[in-house]
């Protein structure tokens, strides 16, 4: 009898919503607690579709009308615009293209190459040596923002979008998405910024 009650309750809309909310929270926590440092080979088929909803919250945020599209109306920097075209692409360690997926530095490499014709090194901590250092209070759209997500400086990179928002490829199970730099997780891990 208890099994039948639980089964009936589990099918209710509220419990379905609760399960999805918990899953989304777990995905967000996983993404927040990990990061990336570089790109390597993948050996994945280019025909694989990496736009996914495996990261429900990231997928929702990256396609949200109130988030991405309203923010992009004021963005004119080519690097930021190029990075935004990758919203929803699945995270893949070592990924450097929309076909294979992206890790954090792969997203920046691809976006810089496509928009500015720049060839950057394959690791976030090496990318942090390029360009000019920028203080946080002087960030502009298109600046690269660096974070310590793996216990070492500049182990994660994203592209600043303005209004304390940045686009990045978060971690395994996630998708390219927009995040708020004022969240406690990002604020305490911020390492600096560079302007290319």
> Which CATH number goes with the domain that contains 80?
3.90.1720.10
pLDDT tops 90 at residue 53 = no
Q: What is the pLDDT of residue 9?
A: 40
Active site residue 168: yes
pLDDT tops 60 at residue 179 = yes
Q: What is the pLDDT of residue 72?
A: 57
> Rounded mean pLDDT of the chain?
76
* Distance (Å, whole) CA 140 – CA 62: 21
pLDDT, tens only, 9-18: 444 444 444 4
Q: Are the beta carbons of 168 and 179 closer than 8 angstroms?
A: yes
Active site residue 36: no
pLDDT tops 90 at residue 99 = yes
pTM of the model: 0.67
User: Is residue 111 within a helix (H) or strand (E), and if so which, with residue range?
Assistant: helix 104-116
**What does the longest C-alpha to C-alpha distance in the chain come to?**
67
Confidence band, pLDDT 50/70/90 cuts, at residue 75: confident
Q: Which of 139, 170, 128, 152 is nearest to 77 (CA)?
A: 139
Confidence band, pLDDT 50/70/90 cuts, at residue 176: very high
Q: Which of 172, 153, 193, 182 is nearest to 34 (CA)?
A: 172
Number of domains in the chain: 1
Catalytic residue among 27, 77, 104, 110: 104
Work out the average pLDDT over 37-42. 42
Active site residue 156: yes
Work out the average pLDDT over 152-176. 95
Q: In Å, how far are 7, 31, 121, 126, 141 from 145, measured between CA atoms?
A: 47, 17, 16, 13, 10
Beta bridge partners of 159: 144, 167
pLDDT tops 60 at residue 156 = yes
Confidence band, pLDDT 50/70/90 cuts, at residue 73: low
Torsion over CA: 55, 57, 61, 66 (sign):
positive
Q: Are the beta carbons of 193 and 144 closer than 8 angstroms?
A: yes
Two tokens, residue 153 = 């400086």
Q: What is the pLDDT of residue 155?
A: 95
Expressed as residue numbers, the domain containing 151 is: 2-195
Q: Which of 41-55, 122-136, 166-180 has the lowest mean pLDDT?
A: 41-55
Two tokens, residue 12 = 């209710």
Work out the average pLDDT over 161-165. 95
Burial group, residue 108, by CB count within 10 angstroms (0-12, 13-18, 19+): buried
Q: What is the pLDDT of residue 168?
A: 97
Q: Are the beta carbons of 87 and 77 closer than 8 angstroms?
A: no
* Distance (Å, whole) CA 108 – CA 168: 8
């Amino acid at each position: 009898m208890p099994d039948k009650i639980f089964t009936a309750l589990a099918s209710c809309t509220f419990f379905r919503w609760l399960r999805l909310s918990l899953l989304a929270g777990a995905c967000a926590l996983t993404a927040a607690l990990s990061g990336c440092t570089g790109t390597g080979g993948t050996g994945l088929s280019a025909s694989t579709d990496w736009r996914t909803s495996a990261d429900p919250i990231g997928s929702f945020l990256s396609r949200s009308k109130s988030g991405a599209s309203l923010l992009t109306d004021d963005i004119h920097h080519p690097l930021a615009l190029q990075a935004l075209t990758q919203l929803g692409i699945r995270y893949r360690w070592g990924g450097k293209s929309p076909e294979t997926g992206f890790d954090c530095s792969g997203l920046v490499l691809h976006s810089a190459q496509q928009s500015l014709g720049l060839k950057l090194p394959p690791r976030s901590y090496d990318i942090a040596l390029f360009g000019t250092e920028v203080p946080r209070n002087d960030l502009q759209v298109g600046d690269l923002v660096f974070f310590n997500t793996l216990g070492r400086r500049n182990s994660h990179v994203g592209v600043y979008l303005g209004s304390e928002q940045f686009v990045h490829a978060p971690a395994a199970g996630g998708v390219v998405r927009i995040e708020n730099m004022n969240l406690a997780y990002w604020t305490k891990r911020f390492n600096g910024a560079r302007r290319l």
